[in-house]
Amino acid sequence: MADRYPDFATLAAAHEAEKDYQITVKDRGTPVVILAPHGGTIEPETAQIAQAVAADDLSFYLFEALRPGAHGDFHITSHRFDEPNALALVARSVTSVAVHGFAAELNTALPGVHPTNICNRTLSGAGVQLELSRSLRHALSEDTAMMDRFSAALRKAITKADTFDRA
C-alpha cells in the first residue's frame, strides 16, 4: 500500500497532534537512539518494544498513530520520515536501532540502507532497521518475561557493539 503522505509536514497539516498521533522523545544524551517511527496503529507494538529496549537509560523516539485505519493512513516510508524531533535526535546520535513490523524472513525489499532512512541519519551515517513479525511483536507485548529477555538481549548487543562506544 502506498503512503498517503509524502512527508511529516503534509501529515501534520491533515491531522491533529495528541488526537490523531503522538510523538514521544526522550533525549538521554546516549550515542545510540532507539526508534519506532511507525508505532501505534501503523505497526502495532513497535513503540512498546522500542520503549522496553530503551529502558531508563537510552534515548528513544516514538511516532504513534492513535486512530485506527489502513496501514498507509499514517505511515511515512522510512527514507522520507522527516519529523523534526526525530531528525534532531538522530542527528545527535552515533547510531540508531529502528523497530519496525514486517515479515519473519530475510527482508531484501526493505533493507533499511537508503542514506535518508531515518535510522541512517546519524553521526556515523548508519543504523539498524529491525523488521519484526506481527506474531513476535504480539507475543512480546503479551509476555512480560519474553519482552524482558528480548530487550536485554538487544541491549547487550547494543552495548557490546564497537560502533556505539562513546570514545
The rounded mean pLDDT for the chain is 89
HEC string for the chain = CCCCCCCHHHHHHHCCECCCEEEEEECCCCCEEEEEEEEECCCCCHHHHHHHHHCCCCEEEEEEECCCCCHHHCCCCHHHCCCHHHHHHHHCCCEEEEEEECCCCCCCCCCCCCCCCHHHCCCCCCCEEEEECHHHHHHHHHCHHHHHHHHHHHHHHHHHCHHHCCC
Whether the predicted pLDDT of 162 surpasses 80: no
Give all domains of the chain, ordered by start, each with its CATH number. 8-155 (3.40.630.100)
Structure pTM?
0.88
Q: What is the pLDDT of residues 72-120, one digit of tens each?
A: 789 999 999 999 999 999 999 999 999 999 874 455 555 566 777 888 8
